[in-house]
Structure 1
């Protein structure tokens, strides 16, 4: 069953190896991302200052993919590179906005 992203719920999509995935940050996924990347508030501040790295973006997006269908991290990194850093900010921004605003 294919779902489409609902931006009103803070969802975004990410195409990895030709497969469209819906990103929806769950509490569990965000806790795991925070354990790897440090404070999510600090991550938001780095993003606002233009200081996010390719590693930061890839890790955050990878953690926000549903675990039952999650591609390998290197494939997510390749998808980020394929989108370009500016293009990759769209799903990253959606995830960070969801973190700051909470569920709609």
Structure 2
């Protein structure tokens, strides 16, 4: 899942729909919650497959709901790798990269005036 540097880390249409539905303040709250979830996940070692699978599962839903589809897909892949018992390195690297990009993007979104 290689991304171009100009492609957004989120789906702007989903974010706009959420803002229209919930308002800017609530959207910012939801983005902050997602950022906190991302920061709390993937701290387990690759040997802790169950923990990593649970972390991935949480982020599949939360990130997908807020339009961070790259992160959602990467977490779904990590969850499958955990369940399938295969080498986690590629999926964990991909999820970690997507999580970093999402966190940086959210930081930028939250830095914008309310």
What's the TM-score bracket when you normalise by the shorter of the two chains? 0.3 to 0.5
Larger proportion of strand = 1
Larger proportion of helix = 2
- Structure number with higher relative contact order (C-alpha < 8 Å, ≥ 6 residues apart): 1
Alignment TM-score, normalising by the size of structure 2? 0.38
Alignment TM-score, normalising by the size of structure 1? 0.40
